[in-house]
């Protein structure tokens, strides 16, 4: 049984391959907006104290930060239509400061909304099937997915129907609305992990059994923050029919045994670490065996209903090779560089996946001005079947671009200052907002990202260095994913000043690893110099096409630590 409209998608909101609200979804979101509007009115009238109001505003994604309120908007599995992005631009201009910040959870944050305006903003979001529900609080948060979902050449299955299935299951789930701590899912359906699933509370990998049946590898207990852990596989193959019931069993186990006495030990990663995988698996399987599974029985009709929204769009039949693309690459070196760095293989002949970097040299990682959002929305409609994605690396993806259109797209992006050819390179830095905005932060992170970006401004040099993930967090909560940066940077306070710890060897993929500390913290001014030394050492040591992480693994962390020690002894700033 489903409360949803059983009619398959043919609705006016459809602008790409993404879920479209029916009357049930729309009514649910509107009711939540109306409820929050009343809560805001009661707060402003003094009928609610801040302690009473705080849980309500957090449930609706509203924080109070250093300078103002901050509203976090959910972008489920990172998929946006052009219409939705245009609305985000409108909200930025109407009620904020003309820009938004894309985050590592594929969300968008406005940094300057007024409390009195937030209900109107939420109504404007509801107009385009968006909301801010469960972007905060101790509940299941926005479910993230591979940003190349549905178009990646290495994909077994589009992970977004699963992510949407889980979103509907977890939205306003009464049993899991007050968990010991927040809870994060990520899903991938590809052979290469682009969604960092191994550092989530639950990471789901769509796999195929030897018999050809689609199911899930279920990993549990990963996470970053002050105590980073890599997920452990609790089930190698879970049939799709058991997905919801098995996840219920995990969540119930966590809800029952997860610690509530200490906020810093309350995540499921601590439970898995303290009890051990075997004990957790035993508890989950026991719950799974004992529970009444009927309410969570796999509803084929519902999954099919959801999956239909993500059906491939109508692609043109094109040759794999585009003659016009090859000619343009020969005639324009900058364009050729952009294609080699920011364009990925599409599963359909004649199409490509384009990463639009939100990391201009010296810019603020993840920030997009409203006029840039509108340009991206226009270009998505003109060249990309009206669809965009947000990556956890804080970039925008155009997932369906004809190879024949790449040159025209690049020219338009270049005009808008959006053609930086650095996807995956040293200046494609993940950075949290840090102490420039965040009340939890202990140091600034954006200026560090900007300084490193400027230091490595030469894009030709960046390409010579190759794939290198630099990730920066402004506190131990690790929103900037520093633990899984090949080079990770953590900003802390030391004797009343900002200090930065550097780690090496982090990896967010299926081969996930947590970075190891290089040495004592350094000042903000010293960070670019230290990174420069590390990169030069890597270039001197690398063999063949080794990436930074490959060289680090081959020669070992100690060699890099010795470098840091030597440089320090020579009197340099390391």
Q: Under rule CB under 8 A, which residues in 493-522 are in contact with another protein?
A: 496-498
Q: Does 41 help bind another protein (rule: CB under 8 A)?
A: no
Residue 44 or 286 having the CB closest to another protein: 44
Residue 132 or 325 having the CB closest to another protein: 132
Torsions phi, psi for 190 (to 5 deg)? -115, 170
> Which of 183, 246, 310, 437 touches another protein (CB under 8 A)?
437
Q: Does 485 help bind another protein (rule: CB under 8 A)?
A: no
In whole angstroms, what is the distance from residue 15 CA to residue 11 CA? 9
Interface stretch with another protein, choices 46-54, 87-95, 275-283, 539-547 (CB under 8 A): 46-54
Secondary-structure breakdown of the chain: helix, strand, coil percentages, each rounded to the nearest 5: 40, 20, 40
Do 455 and 471 meet the contact criterion of CB atoms below 8 Å apart? no
Least distance in Å: CB of 59 to another protein?
Answer: 17
In whole angstroms, what is the distance from residue 53 CA to residue 106 CA? 27
Least distance in Å: CB of 489 to another protein?
Answer: 16
In whole angstroms, what is the distance from residue 487 CA to residue 304 CA? 42
Side-by-side strand order, sheet with 430-431: 430-431, 470-473, 487-494, 497-504, 516-517
Using CB under 8 A as the binding criterion, the count of chain residues that bind another protein stands at 29
Residue 65 or 477 having the CB closest to another protein: 65
In whole angstroms, what is the distance from residue 83 CA to residue 376 CA? 11
What does DSSP say about strands 202-208 and 214-220: parallel, antiparallel, or unpaired?
Answer: antiparallel
Least distance in Å: CB of 367 to another protein?
Answer: 9
Rg (alpha carbons) of the chain, rounded to whole number? 23
User: How would you class 511 by CB atoms within 10 Å of its CB: exposed for 0-12, middle for 13-18, buried for 19 or more?
Assistant: exposed
Binding letters toward another protein, positions 339-368, x by CB under 8 A = -------------------------x----
Q: What is the longest distance spanned by two Cα atoms in the chain?
A: 71
Tell me the DSSP string of 486-515.
SEEEEEEEETTEEEEEEEE--B-STT-B--
- The crossing angle, in degrees rounded to 10, of helices 243-257 and 160-170 is 50
Q: Does 44 help bind another protein (rule: CB under 8 A)?
A: yes
Residue 509 or 526 having the CB closest to another protein: 526
> Which of 12, 46, 212, 544 touches another protein (CB under 8 A)?
46
Q: Does 57 help bind another protein (rule: CB under 8 A)?
A: no
- Record the tokens describing residue 94, joined without a space: 């109407």
Interface stretch with another protein, choices 65-73, 283-291, 321-329, 500-508 (CB under 8 A): 65-73
Do 369 and 416 meet the contact criterion of CB atoms below 8 Å apart? no
Q: Under rule CB under 8 A, which residues in 67-126 are in contact with another protein?
A: 67-69, 97, 112-116
Q: Does 432 help bind another protein (rule: CB under 8 A)?
A: no
Interface stretch with another protein, choices 59-67, 162-170, 417-425, 551-559 (CB under 8 A): 59-67
Q: Does 52 help bind another protein (rule: CB under 8 A)?
A: no
Q: Does 302 help bind another protein (rule: CB under 8 A)?
A: no
Q: Does 242 help bind another protein (rule: CB under 8 A)?
A: no
Least distance in Å: CB of 89 to another protein?
Answer: 17
Residue 297 or 497 having the CB closest to another protein: 497
Residue 311 or 497 having the CB closest to another protein: 497
Least distance in Å: CB of 69 to another protein?
Answer: 4
**Torsion sign, CA atoms 498, 502, 507, 512:** negative
Which residue carries 């809560």 as its tokens? 39
Least distance in Å: CB of 451 to another protein?
Answer: 11
> Which of 43, 105, 281, 455 touches another protein (CB under 8 A)?
43
Residue 57 or 305 having the CB closest to another protein: 57
Do 182 and 141 meet the contact criterion of CB atoms below 8 Å apart? yes
In whole angstroms, what is the distance from residue 22 CA to residue 207 CA? 30
Least distance in Å: CB of 188 to another protein?
Answer: 33
- Record the tokens describing residue 236, joined without a space: 């190698």
- 287: helix, strand or coil: helix
Interface stretch with another protein, choices 43-51, 473-481, 525-533, 544-552 (CB under 8 A): 43-51
Least distance in Å: CB of 475 to another protein?
Answer: 11
Residue 113 or 222 having the CB closest to another protein: 113
> Which of 34, 64, 153, 369 touches another protein (CB under 8 A)?
64
In whole angstroms, what is the distance from residue 455 CA to residue 526 CA? 12
Least distance in Å: CB of 441 to another protein?
Answer: 8
Least distance in Å: CB of 553 to another protein?
Answer: 34
- 430: helix, strand or coil: strand
Binding letters toward another protein, positions 450-479, x by CB under 8 A = x-----------------------------
Selection from 358, 356, 387, 392 nearest residue 188 by Cα: 392
In whole angstroms, what is the distance from residue 547 CA to residue 40 CA? 51
- 255: helix, strand or coil: helix
In whole angstroms, what is the distance from residue 261 CA to residue 263 CA? 7
Q: Does 492 help bind another protein (rule: CB under 8 A)?
A: no
Torsions phi, psi for 382 (to 5 deg)? -75, -40
Binding letters toward another protein, positions 378-417, x by CB under 8 A = ----------------------------------------
Least distance in Å: CB of 471 to another protein?
Answer: 18
Distances (CA, A) of 517 to 84, 214, 496, 555: 41, 40, 22, 16
Q: Residue numbers of the site for another protein (CB under 8 A)? A: 43-46, 49-50, 64-69, 97, 112-116, 364, 435-437, 444, 446-447, 450, 496-498
């Amino acid at each position: 049984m489903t409360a949803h409209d059983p009619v398959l998608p043919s609705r006016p909101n459809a602008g790409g391959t993404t879920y479209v609200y029916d009357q049930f979804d729309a009514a649910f979101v509107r009711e939540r907006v109306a409820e929050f509007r009343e809560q805001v009115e009661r707060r402003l009238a003094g009928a609610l104290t801040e302690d009473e109001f705080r849980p309500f505003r957090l449930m609706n994604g509203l924080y109070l930060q250093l300078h103002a309120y901050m509203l976090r908007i959910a972008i489920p599995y990172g998929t946006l239509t052009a219409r939705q992005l245009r609305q985000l631009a409108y909200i930025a201009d109407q009620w904020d400061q003309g820009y938004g910040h894309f985050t590592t959870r594929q969300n968008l944050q406005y940094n300057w909304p007024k409390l009195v305006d937030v209900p109107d903003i939420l109504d404007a979001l509801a107009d385009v099937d968006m909301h801010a529900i469960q972007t905060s609080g101790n509940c299941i948060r926005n479910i993230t997915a591979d940003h190349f979902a549905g178009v990646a050449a290495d994909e077994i299955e589009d992970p977004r129907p699963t992510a949407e299935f889980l979103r509907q299951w977890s939205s306003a789930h009464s049993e899991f609305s007050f968990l010991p701590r927040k809870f994060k899912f990520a899903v991938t359906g590809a052979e290469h992990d682009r969604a960092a699933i191994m550092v989530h509370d639950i990471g789901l990998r769509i796999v195929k059994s030897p018999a050809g049946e689609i199911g899930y590898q279920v990993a549990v207990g990963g996470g970053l923050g002050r105590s980073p852990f890599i997920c452990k596989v609790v089930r190698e193959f879970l049939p799709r029919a058991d997905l919801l019931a098995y996840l219920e069993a995990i969540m119930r186990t966590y809800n029952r045994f997860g610690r509530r006495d200490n906020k810093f030990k309350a995540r499921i990663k601590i439970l898995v670490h303290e009890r051990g995988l075997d004990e957790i698996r035993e508890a989950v399987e026991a719950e799974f065996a004992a529970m009444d599974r009927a309410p969570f029985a796999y509803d084929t009709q519902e999954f099919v209903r959801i999956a239909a929204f993500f059906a491939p769009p109508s692609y043109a039949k094109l040759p794999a090779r585009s003659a016009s693309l090859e000619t343009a690459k020969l005639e324009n070196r900058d364009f050729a560089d952009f294609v080699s760095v920011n364009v990925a293989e599409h599963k359909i002949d004649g199409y490509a996946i384009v990463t639009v970097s939100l990391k201009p040299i010296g810019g603020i990682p993840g920030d997009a001005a409203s006029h840039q959002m509108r340009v991206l929305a226009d270009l998505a409609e003109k060249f990309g079947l009206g669809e965009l994605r947000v990556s956890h690396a804080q970039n925008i993806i155009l997932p369906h671009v004809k190879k024949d259109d790449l040159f025209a797209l690049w020219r338009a992006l270049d005009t808008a200052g959006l053609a930086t050819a650095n996807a995956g390179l040293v200046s494609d830095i993940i950075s949290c907002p840090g102490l420039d905005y965040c009340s939890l932060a202990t140091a600034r992170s954006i200026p560090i990202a900007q300084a490193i970006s400027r230091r490595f401004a030469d894009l030709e040099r960046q390409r010579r260095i190759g794939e290198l993930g630099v990730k920066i967090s402004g506190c131990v909560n690790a929103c900037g994913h520093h633990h899984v940066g090949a080079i990770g940077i953590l900003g802390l306070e030391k004797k009343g000043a900002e200090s930065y710890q550097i780690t090496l060897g982090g990896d967010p993929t299926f081969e996930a690893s947590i970075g190891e500390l290089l040495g004592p913290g350094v000042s903000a001014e010293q960070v670019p110099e230290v990174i420069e030394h590390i990169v030069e050492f890597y270039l001197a040591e690398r063999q063949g096409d080794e990436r930074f992480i490959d060289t680090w693994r081959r020669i070992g962390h100690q060699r890099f630590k010795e470098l840091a020690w030597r440089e320090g002894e020579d009197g340099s700033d390391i």
